Structure 1
Amino acid sequence: MKRTLVVGVDGSPESRAAADWAAREAVRRDMHVHVVHAWLWQPLAVPVVQDPDTEARRARQILEETETELVRRHPKLSLTAELIPDVPVPALLRAAKGAELLVLGSRGHGALTGFLLGSYGQQLIASAECPVVSVRARHGNPVARPDEGEVVVGQQGGVEDSAEVLRFAFEEAAARRAPLRAVRAWTLPLVYAYSLGSAWIADQFGGFEPFEKDALEQALEPWRLRHPEVEVITHVEQGSAGPVLLSAASDAQLLVVGRQVRESALGTRIGSVAHAALHHAACPVAVVPHH
């Protein structure tokens, strides 16, 4: 049985870009695509004439048009489509349970929109058990970014902390036959910034940058061994993780970032690095949950 990739659609150019990206990903990785359109009749609280039968037909039409277009573009694609009578967040989370990947559309340099109205996009990315890919339509064109350039991955923490994120990134690079750029950003701890003596002690042990480079190499080592065919470029830079990663991914075909799975008093969160990538990266962004 093929692994499944779920893509949410709503008829917008952004969701068509997401569907096309999902189809190409499925063909490349021999996966099955399940297209989902979540639609539930909800009368508006404003005086606008609505016909539930007309809206239902429109919902079915969106799904049928997406299915027809994907089959036309990708004749060998394994595909199913489903109209789910529910609002987007719970519908897509249920559909993605057990899936390898959930793919969503996003619009412009700002909040995720389309069927992801308001905070829907952030809720989905923060709550999904599988990796979520956000795909942006480029200049109104429903075709996603061409499959060229590097796969870029942000690495943080130790070997275990980044294992799931690196696994996903190496698999993507291998499937695309693309170079993988592994990026680790670091900042000077405040205690060293205000103490020349402490900085001198750190230098006696090789300095901060060699330590960061070694930490990146240790995290990469098991995945290099599993994927010797992947060309790996390491990038260690002092600076805030978000800007460093976005700069490194300026010409990438895919940016991969992690999301630590944890509950807070404010509920689930995606983290500052993933937030920056989703809002400002031009290429598709994969957010990989990890513990």
Structure 2
Amino acid sequence: MPTITVGLDGSPQSLAAADWAAREAVQRGAALSLVHAWEQESRLLPTLAGVPAPGLIDAQHAWAKTLLHDARSRLAHRHPGLDIGIQQTGGRPVAALLAAAEEADLLALGSRGLGTVAGFLVGAVSLAVVARAARPVVLVRAGERAQDEHLPDASGGTSTTTRYRDVLLGLDLDNPGDELIGFAFDAAQRRAGGLRVIHGWSLPTSYGYGTAMDVGLNEELAEQVRHALTDTLRPWRDKFPGVEVHAQAAIGGAGRHLVHASRDASLVVVGRSERHTSIGGHIGPVAHAVLQHATAPVAVVPHD
């Protein structure tokens, strides 16, 4: 059976991620696994002679056990019949979550949302996992609700009975990635909603100074990009005929367009190329921008 795993630490954002993961598991006919990773040598624990006091470690174990059992009970009440497992694991949280992701189809984590220090997203654990996970990772902000994924009802209010908002896909035509496109189409099909695709592009620097003033050349290049986008999506439209697709080739970086469009999306899907640098995994500028500023849950999908 497919499995959706969620990292749970008791924070509001991780509880929102658990709610999202439970809904996704029901939608996919998958099992749900709640994982809490604790680190015995945590600097957050007071120590005796440099070693965490045994009583405090026992208390941490008990707290984590209660957290997992309470979350399972709450989610089981909301989703009768959902297969929910719990796992309490030691070791560093990043390594533990990466290991849990290896056994899952998808990993959900809480995100603290907007906040940067010297240009980096606040939330080192989530960022490290996103950069290195071999499976798709979805980040969910605190306060995310089921009704937020749906269009307003007739009165303008929120409801879970109306149509899902579109799934939003950021696509790089130079490295589209079948895993990325397939994930987005599948997500849209499961939600019986539409798929909006945004590709950001700019004039090649090789065209030189003054090219921007050539309206005819600009339109010719724009038409080429639109054709390339159509050609890339054509086999996926054929594979998912029930998904209504709206594709846009937008001038400029895709990040700001995706952030703006995320206000009306049920899920934002962006890619991460599976290349590694000397300091670990790599997250591109578009994914960084979306993770920092998007208002909808964000799925980061690794691909070749």
Q: TM-score, normalised by structure 1?
A: 0.89
Three-state SS of the structure 2 residue aligned to 1:211 is helix
What amino acid maps onto 1:290 in structure 2? H
Three-state SS of the structure 1 residue aligned to 2:98 is helix
Deviation at 1:234, TM superposition (A): 1.2
**Is 1:150 aligned to 2:150, yes or no?**
no
Contact kept? 2:136, 2:301, Cα under 8 Å: yes
**Is 1:128 aligned to 2:133, yes or no?**
yes
2:34 corresponds in structure 1 to: 35
**Is 1:188 aligned to 2:187, yes or no?**
no
1:177 corresponds in structure 2 to: 192
Three-state SS of the structure 2 residue aligned to 1:42 is coil
CA distance in 1, matches of 2:191, 2:258: 20
Q: Considering only aligned residues, what root-mean-square deviation do their CA atoms show, in Å?
A: 2.5
1:12 corresponds in structure 2 to: 11
What amino acid maps onto 1:168 in structure 2? F
Q: 2:242 aligns with which of 201, 216, 229?
A: 229
Deviation at 1:143, TM superposition (A): 3.7
1:287 corresponds in structure 2 to: 300
Pair 144,277 (structure 1): closer, same or farther in 2 beyond 3 Å: farther
CA displacement, residues 91-119 of structure 1 (integer Å, 9 cap, x when unaligned): 1111111421010001231269xxx9852
2:180 corresponds in structure 1 to: 165
Deviation at 1:196, TM superposition (A): 3.9
CA distance in 1, matches of 2:195, 2:122: 33
CA distance in 2, matches of 1:46, 1:165: 40
CA distance in 1, matches of 2:292, 2:230: 29
Contact kept? 1:192, 1:199, Cα under 8 Å: no
Consecutive unaligned residues of structure 1, counting only runs of 5 or more, are none
Contact kept? 2:259, 2:295, Cα under 8 Å: no
Deviation at 1:232, TM superposition (A): 0.6
Report the number of matched residues. 281
Deviation at 1:253, TM superposition (A): 0.8
CA displacement, residues 240-290 of structure 1 (integer Å, 9 cap, x when unaligned): 111122122221110000001101233211111111111100100000001
Deviation at 1:162, TM superposition (A): 2.8
Pair 156,130 (structure 1): closer, same or farther in 2 beyond 3 Å: same
CA distance in 2, matches of 1:144, 1:89: 28
Contact kept? 1:100, 1:131, Cα under 8 Å: yes
Deviation at 1:43, TM superposition (A): 5.3
Q: 1:97 aligns with which of 95, 102, 107?
A: 102
What amino acid maps onto 1:80 in structure 2? G
What amino acid maps onto 2:281 in structure 1? T
Task: Give the alignment of 1:110-121 within 5 angstroms.
Answer: 110=115, 118-121=123-126
CA distance in 2, matches of 1:111, 1:288: 22
Three-state SS of the structure 2 residue aligned to 1:104 is strand
Deviation at 1:65, TM superposition (A): 1.1
Deviation at 1:223, TM superposition (A): 0.8
CA displacement, residues 5-28 of structure 1 (integer Å, 9 cap, x when unaligned): 111001111111000000000101
Deviation at 1:144, TM superposition (A): 5.5
Deviation at 1:70, TM superposition (A): 0.8
Contact kept? 2:137, 2:299, Cα under 8 Å: yes
What amino acid maps onto 1:26 in structure 2? A
Consecutive unaligned residues of structure 2, counting only runs of 5 or more, are 151-164
Deviation at 1:147, TM superposition (A): 2.6
Contact kept? 2:37, 2:96, Cα under 8 Å: yes
Q: 1:76 aligns with which of 81, 90, 105?
A: 81
Task: Give the alignment of 1:52-91 within 5 angstroms.
Answer: 52-91=57-96
Pair 130,11 (structure 1): closer, same or farther in 2 beyond 3 Å: same
Pair 110,173 (structure 1): closer, same or farther in 2 beyond 3 Å: same
